[in-house]
Structure 1
Amino acid sequence: MGKMIKIALADDEVLFRTVMKKMLEDTGDYQVLFDVGNGLELTQKLEETSKGLFPDLILMDLKMPELNGVETTKIITKKYPHLKVVALTTHQGKPFILNMLNLGAAAYITKSCSPEEMLDTLREVSHKGFYYSDEVLQVIHEDFHTKNGKNRLSMLDAGFITKREREVLLLLCKQYKTQEIAEKLFLSERTVEGHRNNLLGKTNSKNVVGLIVYGLQHGIIELSDLVDPLGFDE
Protein backbone atom coordinates (compact mmCIF):
# COMPACT_ATOMS: atom_id res chain seq x y z
CA MET A 1 0.00 0.00 0.00
CA GLY A 2 3.00 2.31 0.33
CA LYS A 3 2.92 4.70 3.26
CA MET A 4 1.33 3.68 6.53
CA ILE A 5 -2.34 4.70 6.85
CA LYS A 6 -3.02 6.44 10.17
CA ILE A 7 -6.26 5.46 11.91
CA ALA A 8 -8.30 6.54 14.94
CA LEU A 9 -10.83 4.17 16.53
CA ALA A 10 -14.02 5.39 18.22
CA ASP A 11 -16.04 2.66 19.96
CA ASP A 12 -17.36 2.31 23.50
CA GLU A 13 -16.30 -1.35 23.77
CA VAL A 14 -12.72 -1.57 25.03
CA LEU A 15 -12.27 -5.22 24.03
CA PHE A 16 -13.45 -4.51 20.49
CA ARG A 17 -11.05 -1.59 20.14
CA THR A 18 -8.17 -3.68 21.44
CA VAL A 19 -8.86 -6.51 18.98
CA MET A 20 -9.33 -4.07 16.09
CA LYS A 21 -6.08 -2.27 16.87
CA LYS A 22 -4.09 -5.50 16.89
CA MET A 23 -5.71 -6.78 13.68
CA LEU A 24 -5.08 -3.52 11.82
CA GLU A 25 -1.50 -3.09 12.95
CA ASP A 26 -0.67 -6.75 12.27
CA THR A 27 -1.32 -6.10 8.56
CA GLY A 28 1.63 -3.72 8.47
CA ASP A 29 -0.44 -1.20 6.49
CA TYR A 30 -2.07 0.71 9.34
CA GLN A 31 -0.98 2.64 12.41
CA VAL A 32 -3.64 3.18 15.07
CA LEU A 33 -2.80 6.61 16.49
CA PHE A 34 -5.35 6.45 19.28
CA ASP A 35 -8.62 4.84 20.32
CA VAL A 36 -11.43 6.44 22.31
CA GLY A 37 -14.74 5.43 23.87
CA ASN A 38 -17.05 8.18 22.60
CA GLY A 39 -17.38 11.06 20.19
CA LEU A 40 -16.56 13.72 22.75
CA GLU A 41 -13.18 12.11 23.46
CA LEU A 42 -12.60 11.82 19.71
CA THR A 43 -13.23 15.50 18.96
CA GLN A 44 -11.00 16.50 21.88
CA LYS A 45 -8.21 14.21 20.66
CA LEU A 46 -8.42 15.64 17.15
CA GLU A 47 -8.14 19.18 18.50
CA GLU A 48 -5.04 18.20 20.48
CA THR A 49 -3.40 16.27 17.64
CA SER A 50 -0.57 17.87 15.71
CA LYS A 51 -0.72 17.96 11.92
CA GLY A 52 1.99 15.34 11.43
CA LEU A 53 0.13 12.81 13.59
CA PHE A 54 -3.38 13.51 12.29
CA PRO A 55 -5.36 10.39 11.26
CA ASP A 56 -6.25 9.64 7.64
CA LEU A 57 -9.24 7.50 8.62
CA ILE A 58 -11.64 7.20 11.53
CA LEU A 59 -13.46 3.95 12.27
CA MET A 60 -16.64 5.23 13.90
CA ASP A 61 -19.19 3.34 15.95
CA LEU A 62 -22.67 4.88 15.90
CA LYS A 63 -23.97 4.05 19.38
CA MET A 64 -21.65 5.68 21.93
CA PRO A 65 -22.25 7.59 25.19
CA GLU A 66 -21.62 11.33 25.62
CA LEU A 67 -21.63 12.00 21.85
CA ASN A 68 -22.80 9.34 19.41
CA GLY A 69 -21.26 8.52 16.04
CA VAL A 70 -23.84 10.37 13.98
CA GLU A 71 -23.45 13.66 15.86
CA THR A 72 -19.68 13.24 15.90
CA THR A 73 -19.62 12.69 12.14
CA LYS A 74 -21.59 15.93 11.67
CA ILE A 75 -18.90 17.81 13.59
CA ILE A 76 -15.96 16.11 11.91
CA THR A 77 -17.15 16.44 8.30
CA LYS A 78 -17.73 20.14 8.88
CA LYS A 79 -14.48 20.88 10.71
CA TYR A 80 -12.21 18.36 8.93
CA PRO A 81 -13.79 17.79 5.47
CA HIS A 82 -10.77 15.83 4.18
CA LEU A 83 -10.83 13.35 7.08
CA LYS A 84 -12.43 10.07 5.98
CA VAL A 85 -15.03 8.58 8.32
CA VAL A 86 -15.89 4.87 8.01
CA ALA A 87 -18.98 3.81 9.94
CA LEU A 88 -18.43 0.44 11.64
CA THR A 89 -21.54 -0.52 13.55
CA THR A 90 -24.11 -3.18 14.45
CA HIS A 91 -26.90 -1.08 12.88
CA GLN A 92 -27.95 -2.35 9.44
CA GLY A 93 -31.08 -0.28 8.91
CA LYS A 94 -31.58 1.83 5.82
CA PRO A 95 -32.09 5.10 7.78
CA PHE A 96 -28.74 4.68 9.54
CA ILE A 97 -26.92 4.00 6.27
CA LEU A 98 -28.48 6.93 4.41
CA ASN A 99 -27.97 9.29 7.31
CA MET A 100 -24.26 8.51 7.59
CA LEU A 101 -23.69 8.67 3.84
CA ASN A 102 -25.52 11.98 3.56
CA LEU A 103 -23.30 13.32 6.35
CA GLY A 104 -20.27 12.46 4.27
CA ALA A 105 -19.12 9.08 5.64
CA ALA A 106 -16.72 7.42 3.20
CA ALA A 107 -18.07 3.91 3.81
CA TYR A 108 -20.56 1.97 5.93
CA ILE A 109 -19.78 -1.52 7.20
CA THR A 110 -21.36 -3.66 9.90
CA LYS A 111 -19.66 -5.59 12.66
CA SER A 112 -21.13 -8.78 11.24
CA CYS A 113 -18.77 -8.54 8.25
CA SER A 114 -15.67 -10.70 7.98
CA PRO A 115 -12.20 -9.30 8.79
CA GLU A 116 -11.38 -9.62 5.09
CA GLU A 117 -14.40 -7.50 4.11
CA MET A 118 -13.46 -4.81 6.61
CA LEU A 119 -9.83 -4.69 5.44
CA ASP A 120 -10.96 -4.60 1.80
CA THR A 121 -13.22 -1.65 2.62
CA LEU A 122 -10.42 0.26 4.34
CA ARG A 123 -8.13 -0.49 1.40
CA GLU A 124 -10.67 0.95 -1.04
CA VAL A 125 -11.29 4.04 1.09
CA SER A 126 -7.55 4.60 1.45
CA HIS A 127 -7.08 4.24 -2.30
CA LYS A 128 -9.96 6.25 -3.75
CA GLY A 129 -11.56 8.04 -0.81
CA PHE A 130 -14.82 6.08 -0.54
CA TYR A 131 -16.29 2.59 -0.88
CA TYR A 132 -19.88 1.47 -1.40
CA SER A 133 -20.65 -2.20 -0.89
CA ASP A 134 -23.43 -3.86 -2.90
CA GLU A 135 -25.66 -3.54 0.17
CA VAL A 136 -25.04 0.20 0.45
CA LEU A 137 -25.54 0.76 -3.29
CA GLN A 138 -28.84 -1.10 -3.09
CA VAL A 139 -29.99 1.21 -0.27
CA ILE A 140 -29.04 4.28 -2.32
CA HIS A 141 -30.94 2.97 -5.35
CA GLU A 142 -33.99 2.02 -3.28
CA ASP A 143 -34.01 5.47 -1.72
CA PHE A 144 -33.93 7.06 -5.16
CA HIS A 145 -36.77 4.90 -6.52
CA THR A 146 -38.83 5.38 -3.33
CA LYS A 147 -38.76 9.10 -3.96
CA ASN A 148 -40.26 8.25 -7.37
CA GLY A 149 -38.70 11.26 -8.98
CA LYS A 150 -39.85 13.76 -6.33
CA ASN A 151 -37.36 16.57 -5.91
CA ARG A 152 -35.22 14.94 -8.57
CA LEU A 153 -32.83 17.42 -10.12
CA SER A 154 -30.98 16.41 -13.22
CA MET A 155 -28.16 18.27 -14.92
CA LEU A 156 -30.78 19.63 -17.36
CA ASP A 157 -33.04 21.26 -14.75
CA ALA A 158 -32.65 25.01 -15.21
CA GLY A 159 -28.89 24.66 -15.21
CA PHE A 160 -28.86 23.47 -11.58
CA ILE A 161 -25.67 21.59 -12.35
CA THR A 162 -23.91 23.07 -15.36
CA LYS A 163 -22.06 20.96 -17.91
CA ARG A 164 -18.71 22.20 -16.61
CA GLU A 165 -19.69 21.52 -12.99
CA ARG A 166 -20.67 17.97 -13.94
CA GLU A 167 -17.27 17.46 -15.59
CA VAL A 168 -15.58 18.69 -12.42
CA LEU A 169 -17.89 16.51 -10.32
CA LEU A 170 -16.98 13.38 -12.28
CA LEU A 171 -13.27 13.93 -11.71
CA LEU A 172 -13.79 14.86 -8.06
CA CYS A 173 -15.64 11.57 -7.62
CA LYS A 174 -12.49 9.81 -8.75
CA GLN A 175 -10.41 11.68 -6.17
CA TYR A 176 -8.41 13.67 -8.72
CA LYS A 177 -6.62 16.65 -7.23
CA THR A 178 -7.40 20.24 -8.16
CA GLN A 179 -4.25 20.57 -10.26
CA GLU A 180 -5.04 17.37 -12.20
CA ILE A 181 -8.60 18.51 -12.90
CA ALA A 182 -7.37 21.92 -14.01
CA GLU A 183 -4.93 20.32 -16.47
CA LYS A 184 -7.53 17.89 -17.82
CA LEU A 185 -10.21 20.54 -18.37
CA PHE A 186 -7.82 23.37 -19.35
CA LEU A 187 -8.92 25.52 -16.41
CA SER A 188 -7.09 27.40 -13.70
CA GLU A 189 -6.90 25.78 -10.27
CA ARG A 190 -8.83 28.73 -8.87
CA THR A 191 -11.67 28.09 -11.34
CA VAL A 192 -11.77 24.40 -10.40
CA GLU A 193 -11.97 25.33 -6.71
CA GLY A 194 -14.81 27.70 -7.57
CA HIS A 195 -16.75 24.93 -9.32
CA ARG A 196 -16.10 22.58 -6.40
CA ASN A 197 -17.37 25.12 -3.87
CA ASN A 198 -20.43 25.80 -6.04
CA LEU A 199 -21.21 22.07 -6.14
CA LEU A 200 -20.84 21.71 -2.38
CA GLY A 201 -23.10 24.72 -1.85
CA LYS A 202 -25.75 23.72 -4.38
CA THR A 203 -26.03 20.17 -3.04
CA ASN A 204 -25.50 21.08 0.62
CA SER A 205 -22.75 18.46 0.76
CA LYS A 206 -19.98 18.33 3.36
CA ASN A 207 -17.31 16.81 1.12
CA VAL A 208 -16.71 14.87 -2.10
CA VAL A 209 -18.33 11.73 -0.65
CA GLY A 210 -21.47 13.77 -0.04
CA LEU A 211 -21.35 14.96 -3.66
CA ILE A 212 -21.17 11.37 -4.90
CA VAL A 213 -24.15 10.27 -2.81
CA TYR A 214 -26.15 13.31 -3.89
CA GLY A 215 -25.25 12.74 -7.52
CA LEU A 216 -26.33 9.10 -7.42
CA GLN A 217 -29.55 9.85 -5.54
CA HIS A 218 -30.60 12.63 -7.91
CA GLY A 219 -29.57 11.11 -11.22
CA ILE A 220 -26.78 13.62 -11.87
CA ILE A 221 -24.20 10.85 -12.10
CA GLU A 222 -24.47 7.11 -12.65
CA LEU A 223 -22.39 4.26 -11.27
CA SER A 224 -20.73 3.95 -14.68
CA ASP A 225 -19.52 7.54 -14.29
CA LEU A 226 -17.23 6.40 -11.49
CA VAL A 227 -15.10 4.37 -13.91
CA ASP A 228 -13.04 7.17 -15.44
CA PRO A 229 -15.45 8.28 -18.22
CA LEU A 230 -13.22 11.20 -19.15
CA GLY A 231 -10.23 8.98 -19.73
CA PHE A 232 -7.87 10.81 -17.39
CA ASP A 233 -5.52 7.85 -17.29
CA GLU A 234 -5.08 7.64 -21.05
Structure 2
Amino acid sequence: MEPIEIILADDHEIFRKGLEVTISRIPYIKSVIHAASGKEAVEKLEANPQVKIIVMDIRMPEMDGIEATTHIRKTNQEVKILGLSMMDDRANIVNMFKAGANGYLLKNTNKLELLEAFQNMLAGKNYYAKDVAEVFLLKEFSNSTTLKKKHITNDITTREEDILRLICQQYSTREISEILCLSEKTIEGHRKKLLDKTHSRNIAGLVWYALENGIIKEAKG
Protein backbone atom coordinates (compact mmCIF):
# COMPACT_ATOMS: atom_id res chain seq x y z
CA MET A 1 0.00 0.00 0.00
CA GLU A 2 1.27 3.47 -0.88
CA PRO A 3 2.00 5.85 2.01
CA ILE A 4 -0.95 8.08 2.88
CA GLU A 5 -1.59 11.22 4.90
CA ILE A 6 -4.41 11.62 7.38
CA ILE A 7 -6.01 14.44 9.33
CA LEU A 8 -6.63 13.93 13.04
CA ALA A 9 -9.39 16.28 14.21
CA ASP A 10 -10.05 16.55 17.96
CA ASP A 11 -10.19 19.53 20.30
CA HIS A 12 -8.09 17.81 22.98
CA GLU A 13 -4.40 18.15 22.17
CA ILE A 14 -3.35 15.44 24.62
CA PHE A 15 -5.73 12.97 23.00
CA ARG A 16 -4.52 13.92 19.51
CA LYS A 17 -0.89 13.39 20.47
CA GLY A 18 -1.65 10.06 22.09
CA LEU A 19 -3.63 8.84 19.10
CA GLU A 20 -0.93 10.06 16.74
CA VAL A 21 1.57 7.80 18.49
CA THR A 22 -0.72 4.84 17.82
CA ILE A 23 -1.48 5.84 14.23
CA SER A 24 2.18 6.48 13.42
CA ARG A 25 2.93 2.82 14.11
CA ILE A 26 0.87 1.82 11.08
CA PRO A 27 3.47 1.27 8.33
CA TYR A 28 1.71 3.08 5.46
CA ILE A 29 0.89 6.26 7.40
CA LYS A 30 3.17 8.94 5.96
CA SER A 31 2.14 11.85 8.17
CA VAL A 32 -0.57 13.02 10.57
CA ILE A 33 -2.00 16.53 10.23
CA HIS A 34 -3.60 17.96 13.38
CA ALA A 35 -6.85 19.95 13.57
CA ALA A 36 -8.38 21.28 16.80
CA SER A 37 -11.91 21.82 15.45
CA GLY A 38 -14.22 20.78 12.65
CA LYS A 39 -13.62 24.12 10.95
CA GLU A 40 -9.88 23.58 11.04
CA ALA A 41 -10.30 20.04 9.68
CA VAL A 42 -12.17 21.46 6.68
CA GLU A 43 -9.46 24.05 6.14
CA LYS A 44 -6.65 21.50 6.48
CA LEU A 45 -8.32 19.23 3.92
CA GLU A 46 -8.70 22.11 1.48
CA ALA A 47 -5.00 22.90 1.91
CA ASN A 48 -4.01 19.22 1.69
CA PRO A 49 -6.31 17.56 -0.88
CA GLN A 50 -4.03 14.51 -1.00
CA VAL A 51 -5.26 13.42 2.44
CA LYS A 52 -6.97 10.02 2.27
CA ILE A 53 -8.50 9.70 5.76
CA ILE A 54 -9.89 12.09 8.36
CA VAL A 55 -10.25 10.82 11.93
CA MET A 56 -13.02 13.12 13.14
CA ASP A 57 -14.16 13.66 16.72
CA ILE A 58 -17.90 14.28 16.85
CA ARG A 59 -17.91 16.86 19.64
CA MET A 60 -15.72 19.87 18.83
CA PRO A 61 -16.02 23.67 19.10
CA GLU A 62 -16.68 26.09 16.22
CA MET A 63 -17.85 23.32 13.91
CA ASP A 64 -18.51 19.84 15.28
CA GLY A 65 -17.65 16.63 13.47
CA ILE A 66 -21.14 16.22 12.02
CA GLU A 67 -21.17 19.74 10.58
CA ALA A 68 -17.64 19.34 9.26
CA THR A 69 -18.48 16.03 7.60
CA THR A 70 -21.60 17.53 6.01
CA HIS A 71 -19.54 20.45 4.69
CA ILE A 72 -16.81 18.18 3.32
CA ARG A 73 -19.25 15.90 1.54
CA LYS A 74 -20.63 18.80 -0.48
CA THR A 75 -17.41 18.89 -2.50
CA ASN A 76 -15.43 15.78 -1.62
CA GLN A 77 -16.76 12.23 -1.85
CA GLU A 78 -13.35 10.57 -1.97
CA VAL A 79 -11.78 11.24 1.43
CA LYS A 80 -12.66 8.63 4.04
CA ILE A 81 -14.07 9.99 7.29
CA LEU A 82 -13.81 7.95 10.49
CA GLY A 83 -15.93 9.31 13.34
CA LEU A 84 -14.84 9.08 16.97
CA SER A 85 -17.22 9.04 19.91
CA MET A 86 -17.91 7.81 23.39
CA MET A 87 -20.17 4.77 23.74
CA ASP A 88 -23.24 6.78 24.80
CA ASP A 89 -23.20 9.19 21.82
CA ARG A 90 -25.88 7.24 19.95
CA ALA A 91 -27.77 10.13 18.38
CA ASN A 92 -24.55 11.81 17.31
CA ILE A 93 -23.23 8.60 15.75
CA VAL A 94 -26.40 8.22 13.68
CA ASN A 95 -26.14 11.82 12.53
CA MET A 96 -22.46 11.34 11.74
CA PHE A 97 -23.28 8.53 9.34
CA LYS A 98 -26.12 10.49 7.80
CA ALA A 99 -23.64 13.30 7.18
CA GLY A 100 -21.43 10.95 5.19
CA ALA A 101 -18.97 9.24 7.53
CA ASN A 102 -17.49 5.92 6.44
CA GLY A 103 -17.12 4.45 9.90
CA TYR A 104 -16.78 5.07 13.61
CA LEU A 105 -14.65 3.94 16.51
CA LEU A 106 -14.81 4.48 20.22
CA LYS A 107 -12.12 6.65 21.77
CA ASN A 108 -10.60 3.69 23.58
CA THR A 109 -9.63 2.09 20.28
CA ASN A 110 -6.30 0.34 19.70
CA LYS A 111 -3.83 0.00 16.86
CA LEU A 112 -5.31 -3.22 15.49
CA GLU A 113 -8.82 -1.79 15.29
CA LEU A 114 -7.54 1.43 13.71
CA LEU A 115 -5.65 -0.62 11.15
CA GLU A 116 -8.74 -2.67 10.36
CA ALA A 117 -10.88 0.46 10.09
CA PHE A 118 -8.42 2.17 7.74
CA GLN A 119 -8.06 -0.89 5.52
CA ASN A 120 -11.81 -1.39 5.22
CA MET A 121 -12.53 2.24 4.43
CA LEU A 122 -9.74 2.46 1.86
CA ALA A 123 -11.24 -0.65 0.25
CA GLY A 124 -14.59 1.12 -0.05
CA LYS A 125 -16.33 -0.50 2.93
CA ASN A 126 -17.90 1.02 6.01
CA TYR A 127 -16.44 0.17 9.42
CA TYR A 128 -18.14 -0.03 12.82
CA ALA A 129 -16.57 -0.47 16.26
CA LYS A 130 -16.83 -4.17 17.04
CA ASP A 131 -17.87 -3.91 20.68
CA VAL A 132 -21.05 -1.93 20.19
CA ALA A 133 -21.95 -1.73 16.50
CA GLU A 134 -24.53 -4.48 16.24
CA VAL A 135 -26.14 -3.79 19.61
CA PHE A 136 -26.26 -0.05 18.96
CA LEU A 137 -27.67 -0.13 15.45
CA LEU A 138 -30.15 -2.92 16.06
CA LYS A 139 -31.49 -1.17 19.17
CA GLU A 140 -31.89 2.10 17.29
CA PHE A 141 -33.61 0.61 14.25
CA SER A 142 -35.26 -2.66 15.37
CA ASN A 143 -38.78 -1.18 15.21
CA SER A 144 -38.25 0.15 11.69
CA THR A 145 -40.86 0.08 8.94
CA THR A 146 -40.81 0.28 5.18
CA LEU A 147 -40.07 3.51 3.34
CA LYS A 148 -40.03 4.40 -0.33
CA LYS A 149 -36.86 3.15 -2.02
CA LYS A 150 -34.17 5.73 -2.73
CA HIS A 151 -31.07 4.30 -4.42
CA ILE A 152 -31.00 0.59 -3.74
CA THR A 153 -28.68 -1.33 -6.01
CA ASN A 154 -30.50 -3.24 -8.73
CA ASP A 155 -28.52 -6.33 -7.75
CA ILE A 156 -30.64 -6.84 -4.64
CA THR A 157 -33.67 -9.00 -5.37
CA THR A 158 -37.12 -8.59 -3.86
CA ARG A 159 -36.55 -11.75 -1.83
CA GLU A 160 -33.24 -10.45 -0.50
CA GLU A 161 -34.89 -7.17 0.40
CA ASP A 162 -37.55 -9.06 2.38
CA ILE A 163 -34.83 -10.98 4.21
CA LEU A 164 -32.87 -7.80 4.86
CA ARG A 165 -35.92 -6.20 6.42
CA LEU A 166 -36.42 -9.20 8.71
CA ILE A 167 -32.74 -9.22 9.67
CA CYS A 168 -33.09 -5.58 10.70
CA GLN A 169 -36.01 -6.57 12.92
CA GLN A 170 -33.70 -9.02 14.73
CA TYR A 171 -35.28 -12.23 13.45
CA SER A 172 -32.93 -15.22 13.56
CA THR A 173 -32.10 -17.36 10.54
CA ARG A 174 -34.46 -20.03 11.83
CA GLU A 175 -37.31 -17.56 12.35
CA ILE A 176 -36.82 -16.03 8.89
CA SER A 177 -36.86 -19.49 7.32
CA GLU A 178 -40.18 -20.23 9.02
CA ILE A 179 -41.71 -16.88 8.04
CA LEU A 180 -40.70 -17.20 4.37
CA CYS A 181 -41.07 -21.00 4.16
CA LEU A 182 -37.47 -21.42 3.04
CA SER A 183 -34.68 -23.60 4.39
CA GLU A 184 -32.19 -22.19 6.87
CA LYS A 185 -29.44 -22.96 4.35
CA THR A 186 -31.20 -20.81 1.75
CA ILE A 187 -31.56 -17.94 4.22
CA GLU A 188 -27.86 -18.15 5.11
CA GLY A 189 -27.03 -18.05 1.42
CA HIS A 190 -29.10 -14.89 0.96
CA ARG A 191 -27.49 -13.36 4.05
CA LYS A 192 -24.01 -13.91 2.62
CA LYS A 193 -25.08 -12.42 -0.72
CA LEU A 194 -26.47 -9.37 1.06
CA LEU A 195 -23.20 -8.82 2.91
CA ASP A 196 -21.33 -9.02 -0.38
CA LYS A 197 -23.71 -6.85 -2.41
CA THR A 198 -23.90 -4.11 0.23
CA HIS A 199 -20.17 -4.23 0.99
CA SER A 200 -20.99 -4.84 4.65
CA ARG A 201 -18.78 -6.56 7.23
CA ASN A 202 -21.55 -7.58 9.62
CA ILE A 203 -25.20 -7.23 10.57
CA ALA A 204 -24.61 -3.64 11.66
CA GLY A 205 -23.51 -2.84 8.13
CA LEU A 206 -26.68 -4.38 6.71
CA VAL A 207 -28.82 -2.37 9.11
CA TRP A 208 -27.10 0.85 8.14
CA TYR A 209 -27.42 0.05 4.43
CA ALA A 210 -31.13 -0.61 4.86
CA LEU A 211 -31.58 2.66 6.74
CA GLU A 212 -29.55 4.67 4.23
CA ASN A 213 -31.46 3.26 1.26
CA GLY A 214 -34.94 3.68 2.68
CA ILE A 215 -35.68 -0.01 3.24
CA ILE A 216 -36.24 0.80 6.92
CA LYS A 217 -36.49 4.02 8.87
CA GLU A 218 -35.19 5.07 12.27
CA ALA A 219 -37.40 4.07 15.16
CA LYS A 220 -38.94 7.00 17.05
CA GLY A 221 -38.92 7.47 20.78
**Cα distance, 1:215–1:12 mapped onto 2, change above 3 Å:** same
| Distance in 2 (alpha carbons) for counterparts of 1:163 and 1:133 | 25
Within a 5 Å distance, the mapping from 1:42-81 to structure 2 comes to 42-49=41-48, 51=49, 54-81=50-77
Matched, 1:153 2:147: yes
Aligned counterpart, 1:25? 24
Q: Is the 8 A contact 2:10 2:35 kept in 1?
A: yes
Aligned counterpart, 2:154? 164
Aligned counterpart, 2:89? 93
| Distance in 2 (alpha carbons) for counterparts of 1:94 and 1:172 | 27
**Cα distance, 1:212–1:8 mapped onto 2, change above 3 Å:** farther
Q: Is the 8 A contact 1:143 1:217 kept in 2?
A: no
RMSD: 3.3
SS at match of 1:60: strand
| Distance in 1 (alpha carbons) for counterparts of 2:118 and 2:80 | 10
**Larger fraction in helix:** 1
Deviations 1:176-200 (A, max 9, x none): xxxxxxxxxxxxxxxxxxxxxxxxx
| Distance in 2 (alpha carbons) for counterparts of 1:161 and 1:27 | 36
Structure 1 residue 73: deviation in Å?
Answer: 1.1
Q: Which runs of 5+ in 2 are unaligned?
A: 158-193, 217-221
Q: Is the 8 A contact 2:155 2:197 kept in 1?
A: no
**Cα distance, 1:21–1:139 mapped onto 2, change above 3 Å:** same
Structure 1 residue 217: deviation in Å?
Answer: 6.1
Q: Which runs of 5+ in 1 are unaligned?
A: 176-209, 222-234
May I ask how many residue pairs the two structures share in their alignment? 175
Q: Is the 8 A contact 2:195 2:206 kept in 1?
A: no
Aligned counterpart, 1:113? 109
Q: What TM-score, normalized to structure 1?
A: 0.62
Q: Is the 8 A contact 2:106 2:129 kept in 1?
A: no
Q: Is the 8 A contact 2:102 2:121 kept in 1?
A: yes
Q: Which amino acid aligns with 2:16?
A: R
Within a 5 Å distance, the mapping from 1:200-211 to structure 2 comes to none
Structure 1 residue 212: deviation in Å?
Answer: 8.0
Q: Is the 8 A contact 1:10 1:37 kept in 2?
A: yes
Aligned counterpart, 2:165? none
